Amino acid sequence: MTQVYNFSSGPAMLPAEVLRRAEQELTNWHGLGTSVMEISHRSKEFMQVAEEAEQDFRDLLKIPANYKVLFCHGGARAQFAAIPGNLLGNASSADYVDGGYWAHSAIKEAEKYCSPRTLDVKTTLDGKRAILPMSEWDLSDDAAYVHFCPNETIDGIAIDEQPDFGNKIVVADFSSTILSRPIDVNRYGVIYAGAQKNVGPAGLTLVIVREDLLGKAHPYVPSILDYQVLAENGSMFNTPPTFAWYLSGLVFKWLKEKGGVGEIDKINQAKADLLYGLIDKSDFYRNDVATKNRSRMNIPFQLADASLDKVFLDESLKVGLHALKGHRVVGGMRASIYNAMPLEGVKALTDFMIDFERRHG
């Protein structure tokens, strides 16, 4: 069978080693004669899985003791509602940095609960799409918090600067970049991420929340989105997505074995350099994001002749390079190259692109 490399933006590729392990133990997990999906989330066996996964995640991101880690349902979009619900308090406004599609979607949801103050940080640099540096973000004094998205999965734009906004509560949607590079958790009030890109299967959402922000939820916030309720119940107020939790735990162990976030950071840089390097050298492929804001996780690119898009997608699929179609709002191509994508996968893609250009350019 052709070696397949899956460039899907999410649900995305998982490490092959993790899938093999899950396959081996699927029907007889830990000698129980049943799968991990079929046992109680409160059983001692599952509790051990849950605790180990949390500890490994904490180790990987060096999460300080005064932060809770919550294993939630509902994807990142549920967090778009949970954030204002938990953090607004008596305030009527929060600062929302609009850097792309997902940051904008968070604003739309927040409008149901408050009057978000939108900061449009999109700009251009040498004719390419870029984001204003954080020092130029015009934050307000009375905002309950500031929300931003460090990696725009669709736009292929990243904000790699780490926030340094004094006492302001910084909230960030790390859905498509969590665990891809080291971050200083201390700079954030809340970090959240849907699992289905860099962590594990869809259905699980990770939330890292500073303890002093718990217990402030609006009375109408559903209990399953109330951080205090989730924290008090060890993320088991209701039945958690146990299989996704277990599989994410395997991914955390895989990442630790690879040397952790510091090591994967270097590999991610090498992968991105390889693909952007090829795009920049060629007149046939184009990426229109300024270098300093280029995402290392989601790399959109256009062909000089858009009428070749379909041929490109058909041919790439035939050689095992899957899911390269760009998002419908952007068009063209997009290669999502999260932690689980090996360097060889990106090499296979660039080899194909060079050959495609030679034949069609």
Q: Which of 77, 216, 258, 286 binds ligand PMP (CB under 6 A)?
A: 77
Bridge partners of 170, per DSSP, are 146
Q: Which of 86, 175, 248, 302 binds ligand PMP (CB under 6 A)?
A: 175
- Active-site residue, 137 included: no
| 150 binds ligand PMP, rule: CB under 6 A | no
Q: Which of 75, 84, 260, 300 binds ligand PMP (CB under 6 A)?
A: 75
Alpha carbons 41 and 59: distance in angstroms, whole number: 23
**73 vs 253, beta carbon nearer ligand PMP:** 73
Instruction: Please report how close the Cβ of residue 108 comes to ligand PMP at its closest, in angstroms.
Output: 12
User: How is 245-309 classified by DSSP, letter by letter?
Assistant: HHHHHHHHHHHHHTT-HHHHHHHHHHHHHHHHHHHHH-SSEE--B-GGGB-SSEEEEEESSGGGH
Alpha carbons 266 and 346: distance in angstroms, whole number: 14
Q: Which of 54, 56, 173, 357 binds ligand PMP (CB under 6 A)?
A: 173
Instruction: Please report how close the Cβ of residue 137 comes to ligand PMP at its closest, in angstroms.
Output: 19
Sign of CA dihedral 318, 322, 328, 329: negative
Alpha carbons 264 and 258: distance in angstroms, whole number: 7
**39 vs 119, beta carbon nearer ligand PMP:** 119
C-beta separation of 171 from 315 below 8 A: no
Alpha carbons 48 and 249: distance in angstroms, whole number: 11
**175 vs 293, beta carbon nearer ligand PMP:** 175
305, HSE (Cβ side, Cα atoms, 13 Å): 8
Q: Stretches 30-38, 71-79, 128-136, 264-272: which one binds ligand PMP (CB under 6 A)? A: 71-79
- Taking CB atoms, the residue at the shortest distance from ligand PMP is 75
Instruction: Please report how close the Cβ of residue 231 comes to ligand PMP at its closest, in angstroms.
Output: 21
The 99-128 contact track toward ligand PMP, x by CB under 6 A, reads ---x--------------------------
- Active-site residue, 173 included: yes
Alpha carbons 140 and 126: distance in angstroms, whole number: 29
| 194 binds ligand PMP, rule: CB under 6 A | yes
**175 vs 235, beta carbon nearer ligand PMP:** 175
Alpha carbons 172 and 71: distance in angstroms, whole number: 16
Q: For binding to ligand PMP (CB under 6 A), which residues are involved?
A: 10, 75-77, 102, 149, 153, 173, 175-176, 194
